[in-house]
Amino acid sequence: FRMRPASRPWYRIRQFLRHVTSTYSKQDQQFVASVLNHAELEQFGRLPIFEKRHAVDVAKYLSKFKKDLSSEEWLVLQKTALLHDIGKVILPLNPIEKSIFVILRVLFPKLVFNMAQSGKFPKSRMFLFHNIIGADILKKTGTEPDVIQLIASYEPGGKRSRFTELLSEADEQIL
């Protein structure tokens, strides 16, 4: 039995440390602006710095797959990577809150799901369903339907496509 990188304790500790020390540079801003439209960029700007850093790192990790994709597929994958956590703008978590939810999801997945479903814990709902929330946000930004569909369907244990497999690999490899 091999643990996924994202469920290893040391991975999560390093991820937390990276989140609290994250930076988002001028070069990162230029990269993001070269991929996203104005409305998408506006939503992206609402993310906490550590979420922006994560999204940029996921997008850059995917560059090793560029040669296998058409230019249209590449743009869809890059946008999806940058926007896959955009639903988190509605009710952002700080790194401590995010860490608590990650630990709870690993130890007590049914509890976190029930908290989210009850409606009494909005941050747990956002944590679990930010992909659906993000897809709804992006419907108002002129985002390509393929990107919206990929984000809506991107969830742990969900149905996988070629693109969601690539995104999942990148998302798990990046702190």
Q: pLDDT (tens digit, 0 to 9) for every residue of the chain, 175 residues total?
A: 445 555 566 666 776 667 667 788 999 999 999 999 999 999 999 999 999 999 999 999 999 999 999 999 999 999 999 999 999 999 999 888 988 888 888 889 999 999 999 988 999 999 889 999 999 999 999 999 999 999 998 775 566 788 888 888 887 777 5
pTM, two decimal places: 0.85
Residue 152, number of CB atoms within 10 A of its CB: 18
Rounded distance between C-alpha atoms, residue 100 and residue 116, angstroms? 14
Rounded distance between C-alpha atoms, residue 103 and residue 147, angstroms? 29
Rounded distance between C-alpha atoms, residue 115 and residue 98, angstroms? 15
In sign, the C-alpha dihedral spanning 122, 23, 170, 150 is positive
Question: Environment class of residue 105 by beta-carbon count within 10 Å: exposed (0-12), middle (13-18) or buried (19+)?
Answer: middle
